[in-house]
Every structure is written in structure tokens, then in C-alpha cells.
Amino acid sequence: MTTEASSSGSPDVSSGTVVGPPPTKRVSWSSFVTLGVPPLVFAAIVTGLFYLLREVVSEKRKILVPQPHTVFTQTIGDNATRAELFEAFINTTKVAFVGLAIAITLGVLFAVVMSQARLMEDAFFPWAVVIQTVPTLALVPLIGVWFGFGFKSRVIVAVLISLFPIITNSLFGLKSVDRDLHDLFTLHDASRFTRLWKLQFPAAMPATFTGFRIAAGLSVIGAIVGEFFFGRGETGLGNLVNKYRGLVQIEELYATIIISSVLGIAVFFTFGWLSRLVVGAWYESTGSER
């Protein structure tokens, strides 16, 4: 007996494969232009407003509102400062990526366990909520005492901050499979592993990658928070924020904040691209095509 897969992505259990909808169309060059121009126009407007703001503030506050071009010339244009910022960028990126990788592994694992038994969900989910609600800053001193003030502790902070969205989104996706598809797998006497691998995982991909995208930005925040408060080990962007704040080096402080934002945006959009690459054959957004 052979079950044909429909165009909507119904699984073919007997053949051991799951057939999805046709792959989505490739993004054209015009789409890149459409997506890139509005943010650049907005950035130009904000830069112009920044120049205007500096003209209207009082003289004693002008130091807090530097001209955008001086931020560039005194940081990227200076060899020593540029090298310091680049080294910090690399160190923060390492912490964020390692923390995100660990958070993805733990988050998906916990979501799978909770999706397989209601008892497991009732046991684990409240603790996931605790991780999200307990102020991370209250835990930072304890983490430093337990694990030291170096790379390991920074990674732990990044994991704690980025873990919850992965758990909740992955669990939602795994539990949102159409009941009729579950009945179809039951009809074919599919094992629990087969049901998980060939039905629940593919169906959960859109929600799971949404969690990854959220966690990607949060991992950068976690890395910077850890560096800011631990203040030891390799110099990261968080260390530089603390340093430049204390020395009232405003141009360098603005540059560090901008670089931190760029890192978070880059990681966020990287997972957006991965989401379209992986999920594109399974899921088509009901919104406008982008």
C-alpha cells in the first residue's frame, strides 16, 4: 500500500520520505535592493537628525552628542583604536556563537523531551520560565564565583539569556502538527522516532527558526553583559563599553555601541537566511513575498 503525498506537503510514510511543496523562488537582485534601500534611507535620516541635535543642545552637552563623522575618524580612522575594536569584536563574536550553539542544543533537546510526554512538560517548563524571569544581573556575581570570570562564565550568561525563546518556539512547533497527519502516521504504525523525525521536526521548522533568530540577537546581548560585569579575561565589546564610559571617550563609546548593534543584526539576519534556506521547501509564508 502506497500513500501519495499531496501538494500541501502530506508525508509518504510507507516510502520513508516526506514530500514537501515546491521550493520557493530565489530572491532576485531587485528584492535585495527593495530590502536594503529603506534601512539605508532611515539610517541617513537618523544621521541627519543627529547632526541637527548637536546644533540645538547646550555647549556643555555637545561632548555627549559627537558628530557622526568624528565617531568614524577617531575610531575606525585611528589604527590603535581600530585594532582594539576589531579584537574586541572577534572575542565577543566567539562568546556569542558558542553560547548560541549551546543554547540551540539544549533548547531543542528540552523541547523534544517535553513534546513527547505531558509529564515532562509539566516538570521542565516552569524551570524554563524561571530562567527567563530571574534577573540575569542578579545571577552574574554567583556565576563569577562558581565558574570564574573568564570565557566560560561569559558563555553561561549568553546561554541563560538566549535559551528561553528556543525552548518555547521549538515546543510550540513540535506540538502544532495537524492531528490528521498524526492519525496518518498512527495508521501506518509509525514508531515514536519516525513520527518525531519525519513529521514533527519538519512541521516545527518555521517556529524553531523563529526561536533561533530571536536567540541569536539575545546571545550577543548576553555576551556583552557578561563582559561588562565580569571585566576580566579577553577584552570584548562589553569591556570596551565599560572602559570608554569610565574615561568619557564618547566617540569610542558610540563606535562600540554601533559595532555591537551591527553584530546583533548580522547574526539575526544570518539565521533569517538559514530559515529561508532550510524551511523554504516546507513552509510558505502567508504574508507578502519578500
Please give the grid coordinates belonging to residue 38: 529603506
DSSP state of 26: P
What's the pLDDT at 284?
A: 53
Q: Which of 285, 289, 270 is nearest to 93 (CA)?
A: 270
Q: Please, what are the averages of pLDDT over each run of 10 residues along the chain (290 residues)? A: 44 48 53 69 82 76 77 84 93 95 95 91 89 83 87 93 94 89 85 87 90 93 90 87 88 91 90 82 49
Q: Which residues are paired to 242 by β-bridges?
A: none
Q: Domains along the chain?
A: 26-65 (no CATH), 66-279 (1.10.3720.10)
Q: Report the C-alpha gap between 290 and 276 in whole angstroms.
A: 11
Radius of gyration of the chain (CA): 24
Closest CA to 109 of 186, 174, 50, 40: 174
The residue written with cell numbers 516510502 in the block is 15
Output the pLDDT for position 51: 79
Strands 11-12 and 17-18: what pairing? Answer: antiparallel
Q: Which set of grid coordinates corresponds to residue 251?
A: 566617540
pTM, two decimal places: 0.78
Cell of 155: 558563555
